[in-house]
Amino acid sequence: MYLRRFTRMALCAFALTASLAASAQTYPDRPIRIILQYGAGSTTDVVARIVGQRLQERLGQPVIIDPRPGANGILATEMAIKAPADGYTILWGSSGTHAINPAAYKKLSYDPVKDFMPVAQVGEVGFILTVRNGLPVKNLAELIALAKSKPGEISFGSAASSSGLGGTLLEMTAGVQFNKVNYKTSPQLVTDAIGDRIDLLMEPILILDTHVKNGRVRAIGFTSKNRSSLLTQIPTVAEQGYPEYESIGWLALFAPAGTPKAIVAKLNTEINAVVNSPDIRESLLQKGVEPRTTSPEGLEQLMKTDIIKWEKLYRDAKLERQ
């Protein structure tokens, strides 16, 4: 009796494995949906549509970008978890959803490690450290000196958790204290900086590029370890006396846990090929995104390393968790 039961279980397992293998071989045979955690016009949305269009051409099936903004990406992430683990619904995730949120929330409705399978990284986004023209500083050293002479008086505006944490990391690294001001949207924040109503901000290149070039605000640093390929004249924070400093965001795709590994591998191969295409690389660079590709295992390691980094910052800075 036990032998028959074991045999039935083995046959069922074999049938399931065979079914998944066959599914992976024919994948994809219908449209693929990419759930997006930010709205239209955001850096994430723009990059997702660039990559999605080329991915559609390579896979021979429609790739539908489905923006579901809200709650720091939690809404979109929860939707992705509930989707079938068949490779036809994947999440356009980020360092925000998969590294910062675990540090920022006491109780998060998802586990970025257990609930998802890393698929592929797409790019890295650095931030431009920028001051209003009326602030009497021309570089990072002058900003830090001014901030130390006026503790808590230099206003720092942020419209996203990633840029806000970048400011906190600068405070901890340089030993200064800013007056933090939260904004609902980046355009509102930039408008106030241009109008000399907020002293300091960190925003992606896509948002600040034109204003920096037109002299409406003054760029004094870049938050990645390396200078931006688009704005090479802006020195990094690291090369201005703080070599350990780095605050970046990254964009990546994740599949619900349980998605067949063969499908994940196929998606990784195709997405890497898209990102490494010369014209796509140039398009991403023009949007302020440094193209990055890696294996699913490499993406998993990046995610885990960043979770540790931001959890440590929350503890060291005694930041209140939501």
Report the pLDDT averaged over residues 67-76.
91
Place of tokens 């931030």: 127
**Between the CA of residue 259 and those of 80, 209, 264, what are the distances in Å?**
12, 39, 7
pLDDT in tens, 277-298: 999 999 999 998 999 999 999 9
Q: Hey, what's the torsion of the CAs at 67, 69, 73, 76, to 10 degrees?
A: -50
Each as own residue / partner, the long-range contacts of residues 185-188 (CB below 8 Å, 24 or more positions apart, any chain) are 185/159, 186/159, 186/160, 188/159
**Between the CA of residue 33 and those of 61, 96, 98, 295, what are the distances in Å?**
10, 21, 19, 21
In 150-295, which ranges are continuous DSSP H helix?
161-174, 186-194, 205-213, 261-275, 278-286
pLDDT in tens, 45-59: 889 999 999 999 999
Determine how β-strand 248-256 pairs with β-strand 200-204. unpaired
Give me the pLDDT at residue 58, please.
Answer: 97
Please, which pLDDT band fits residue 172 given cuts at 50, 70 and 90?
A: very high
Give me the pLDDT at residue 196, please.
Answer: 96
Lowest mean pLDDT: which of 4-18, 38-52, 118-132, 305-319? Answer: 4-18
pLDDT in tens, 236-246: 999 999 999 99
Give me the pLDDT at residue 18, please.
Answer: 45
Determine the Cα–Cα distance for residues 121 and 209; give it in Å rounded to an integer.
24
Please, which pLDDT band fits residue 322 given cuts at 50, 70 and 90?
A: confident
pLDDT in tens, 246-260: 999 999 999 999 999
pLDDT in tens, 103-158: 999 999 999 999 999 999 999 999 999 999 999 999 999 999 999 999 999 999 99
- Specify the length of the chain in residues: 322
Judged against a pLDDT cut of 60, whether residue 10 lies above it is answered with no
Please, which pLDDT band fits residue 43 given cuts at 50, 70 and 90?
A: confident
Domains and CATH numbers, the chain: 2-124+250-316 (3.40.190.150), 126-240 (3.40.190.10)
Reported as type and span, the H/E element at residue 308 is: helix 296-316
Place of tokens 């409406």: 216
